[in-house]
Amino acid sequence: MPREQAVILLLAVGAVGVGTTAAILQPALFRLGQEGTPASFSGVRYGGSYRAGRWVAAPDRSRAWSGFQGRGPGTAK
Amino acid sequence: MRWPLLALLLPLLPLSVLALSALEPPQRLVLVATEEQPARSEPFDLRDGWLGSPRIALEAEIPDNSTVELGVRLLDEAGRPVLELFKDGWRESGTWAEGGESGSWQERDTTLQLQLRPQTSGRFQLEVTLDELLGVSGLPLQAPVTLRGTVRNHSVAAALLLYTAAVSQAIVLCLLAAVYGAARSRRRLRVEEGVAALRLPLGGPGLVKLVVRARWELPDGAKPEHDPPALAPFSLSLSDGAGQRRLDHQATLKVCRHTNDGDSWLTLTQTHHLRLAEPGSYRLRVTVPETFSPQGDPWEIEWLQLSVEDGVKTAFRVPLLPLRPRGARA
């Protein structure tokens, strides 16, 4: 097999290996007890964070959002 | 040579992982929270492990044109909160009219997703408090909020798997192009007559691929009045460096008729493969009719094209034109 074909094949196998392993293992996923908070999704605020392995509630829980976020098409609003 | 086709199976690996993870039956959760009464879910399992990761997905059912603030706490077996978060959700709909067209729209952000690993596997519960449910005018609404959700312990990153499948598919297509599209040499000859001949160095490992294409047209402005010819005689010959004729192939080939926008033309396309084991100088000669029968329309050759690729590999067995051995009499 010519060398460039071996390199391309290796790349394909490597891409599948790395991508599939990372998708299954998700090594960067938050583990309870780890410093900080999990990844935030839309509209989510965490009410504290992990410090030294313990969940510490944040004292300030003031609302900081404006309510409706939807735009609607153009003239609708 | 077929092994490169097996590489097409590679992108199926991430897709099959995705399909396998979808087979896991989810644990279902239903909670109904009111402003007075926080809701607590049935206990569910969160497992620590490396085969996928836990994912909790909740969808809040709130009235149209309202906003909600939910307080969500994840409790461990002993009832201690191990995570606390607030979800600001909203749902809105309306109608639009623009440029004489109109319709309705609906937007919402009422889903809550949580992806994390527990410190150790165990039973957990969710506690949801309805902190606020407001109508569009900012007035509180007195309605319970139902949350439906699922807990999975072996979820995988679906987007990454799809991306992996797409990227590996692209790389595999590159590999197939590198294997089956590579040639030692390529030549293309186009002439405006019925005979094309060229001498060129050919031969060695792999096959020689010949593609012959021809096109006939009527003289300017002429319209076809008879049925066009359906068949055309075709001949292909090959002589080696010593001038000896090694191949004399005669055939009658089907001619395709094309018509577009008042124009008519005829084409012929033919592909042949040869195996030339010993490298050397070879002469190829292709003949097609320059004109067709005088009784019919005056079809004339527009061009004849001969493409030669040397040293190609094919995925599947192809028919080869037999060559006379060197020194054999014609």
The pLDDT tens digits of the residues spanning A22-53 come to 999 998 899 998 898 888 888 889 988 898 88
Same domain, residue pair B153 and B237: no
Three-class SS state of B231 = strand
Q: Which domain holds residue B261?
A: 186-312
Q: How far apart are CA B298 and CA B219, in angstroms?
A: 7
Q: Test A33 with B119 for CB contact under 8 angstroms.
A: yes
Query: Please, how many CA atoms are within 13 Å of residue B160, restricted to the half-sphere of its CB?
Result: 17
Same domain, residue pair B210 and B72: no
Assess contact for B129 and B84: CB atoms under 8 A: no
Assess contact for A5 and B89: CB atoms under 8 A: no
Same domain, residue pair B48 and B107: yes
By C-alpha distance, which of B61, B87, B88 is closest to B74? B87
Nearest by CB: B92 against A9, A38, A68 = A68
Same domain, residue pair B26 and B139: yes
What value of ipTM does the predicted structure carry? Answer: 0.76
The pLDDT tens digits of the residues spanning B66-117 come to 999 999 999 999 999 999 999 999 999 989 888 889 999 999 999 999 999 9
By C-alpha distance, which of B181, B180, B189 is closest to B283? B189
CB-based contact, B181 to chain A, within 8 Å:
no
Measured CA to CA in angstroms, residue B330 lies from B126, B200, B237 at distances of: 90, 22, 12
Same domain, residue pair B24 and B150: yes
Name the closest residue on chain B to residue A2, using Cα atoms: B179
Same domain, residue pair B149 and B8: yes
Same domain, residue pair B31 and B156: yes
CB-based contact, B71 to chain A, within 8 Å:
yes
Tell me: pLDDT of B123 over 60. yes
Q: Is residue B300 part of a domain?
A: yes
Q: Is residue B245 part of a domain?
A: yes
Q: Is residue B275 part of a domain?
A: yes
> Got the DSSP string for A9-37?
HHHHHHHHHHHHHHHHH-TT--BTTSSB-
Count of structural domains within chain B: 2
Assess contact for B84 and B72: CB atoms under 8 A: yes
Mean pLDDT confidence for B139-167? 93
Longest pairwise C-alpha distance within chain A: 65
Whole-structure pTM value: 0.74
Q: How far is CA B65 from the centre of its chain?
A: 41
Same domain, residue pair B118 and B225: no
Assess contact for B32 and B145: CB atoms under 8 A: yes
Sequence-distant (≥ 6) Cβ neighbours of residue B172 within 8 angstroms: A12, B7, B8, B10, B11
**Per-residue pLDDT at A71:** 53
Q: How far is A71 from chain B (nearest CA, A)?
A: 9
Mutate to test the interface with A, among B168, B174, B180 (most CBs of A within 10 A): B168
Q: Is residue B55 part of a domain?
A: yes
Sequence-distant (≥ 6) Cβ neighbours of residue B104 within 8 angstroms: B93, B94, B95, B96
CB-based contact, A32 to chain B, within 8 Å:
yes
Write out the E strands in B62-205: 66-75, 81-98, 101-109, 111-115, 122-135, 145-155, 185-191, 195-202
Same domain, residue pair B198 and B136: no
Going by their DSSP bridges, the two strands B195-202 and B280-287 should be labelled as antiparallel
**Per-residue pLDDT at A8:** 93
> Which CATH number covers residue B156?
2.60.120.380
Strand order in the sheet with B111-115: B27-33, B145-155, B53-61, B111-115
Query: How many other CB atoms are found less than 10 A from the CB of residue B261?
Result: 4
Query: Please, how many CA atoms are within 13 Å of residue B157, restricted to the half-sphere of its CB?
Result: 20
Structure tokens at B179: 């294997």
Q: Is residue B169 part of a domain?
A: no
Same domain, residue pair B143 and B220: no
Nearest by CB: A29 against B98, B116, B119 = B116
Domain boundary among B107, B125, B160: B160
Q: Give the residue with greater pLDDT, B225 vs A6.
A: A6
Q: Is residue B322 part of a domain?
A: no
> Which CATH number covers residue B202?
2.60.120
The pLDDT tens digits of the residues spanning B225-268 come to 888 888 899 999 999 888 899 999 999 999 998 888 878 899 99
Q: Is residue B200 part of a domain?
A: yes
Same domain, residue pair B260 and B295: yes
Q: Rounded to 5 degrees, what angle do the CA atoms B139, B144, B148 make? A: 125
Q: Test B98 with A75 for CB contact under 8 angstroms.
A: yes
CB-based contact, A72 to chain B, within 8 Å:
yes
Q: Is residue B279 part of a domain?
A: yes
Same domain, residue pair B149 and B289: no
Length of chain A: 77
The pLDDT tens digits of the residues spanning B273-325 come to 999 988 999 999 999 999 887 677 888 899 999 999 999 998 888 999 999 88
Sequence-distant (≥ 6) Cβ neighbours of residue B30 within 8 angstroms: B41, B146, B147, B148, B149
The pLDDT tens digits of the residues spanning B195-234 come to 999 999 998 888 999 999 999 988 877 777 888 888 899 9
